[in-house]
A and B are shown apart, each in its own frame.
Chain A
Amino acid sequence: AQKITQTQPGMFVQEKEAVTLDCTYDTSDPSYGLFWYKQPSSGEMIFLIYQGSYDQQNATEGRYSLNFQKARKSANLVISASQLGDSAMYFCAMREGPGAGSYQLTFGKGTKLSVIP
């Protein structure tokens, strides 16, 4: 079974609109972290935001927020006021722990976001 599922291979959003990228995860470990990365066409992996399993509040970083619904095992990324520069691949990832292998990130297959002017 996949540990991280991103069900939207591609999405379009109008500039200045908000967009939600979906991510569901599967783990039986009570301690885990969820991360979002952005990969523009230039290829580098850019860290955006993270959420710990014990965090009570949703994480926010500027225009990015993470809609964490623990019971549903979802960790959706919300981008507010989309900009043309937001066009990229977005990856959701999880790190479980502690224990053997707890340092490794497991990635979803990604969502390609295209921002339309």
Chain B
Amino acid sequence: NAGVTQTPKFQVLKTGQSMTLQCAQDMNHEYMSWYRQDPGMGLRLIHYSVGAGITDQGEVPNGYNVSRSTTEDFPLRLLSAAPSQTSVYFCASSGSGLLETQYFGPGTRLLVL
């Protein structure tokens, strides 16, 4: 059972480069989300989706783009990387109920030089 998968695990970018962080889940969950984790800040929501074709912004959306063409996949695009985007990125998925557990992927560690 794969659960939530993320690729790549590590990435180094130069300022101004673009890239896509991949996220996939095999649990048929409607809800998917992207968080970033910075030291001392906990996890902060970037974007989320409540189903295919529906996305919305979270707390820190600037500089990131998402789309949800299928239930399984929810890629996160960095349009023009900046050093401030150096972080660990987590993708998560869950069912749509209030008490549904969010399951997290293993994370992607991104360094922007």
Binding site for B on A (CB under 8 A): 4, 31-33, 35, 37, 43-45, 47, 50, 52, 91, 93, 95, 97-98, 101-110
Contact = CB atoms under 8 A, between A and B. Distances in A.
A103 B48 contact: yes
Contacts, number: 60
Interface residues of B, number: 26
B90 A45 contact: yes
A104 B106 contact: no
Nearest to A9: B40
B69 interface: no
Given A44-B104, A45-B104, A33 B98 contact: yes
B45 interface: yes
B101 interface: yes
Given A43-B106, A44-B106, A45-B90, A107 B44 contact: yes
Contacts of B94: 103
A45 B36 CA distance: 12
A24 to B, nearest CB: 14
Interface string B30-60: 0101010000111111001010000010100
B58 A35 contact: no
B43 A50 contact: no
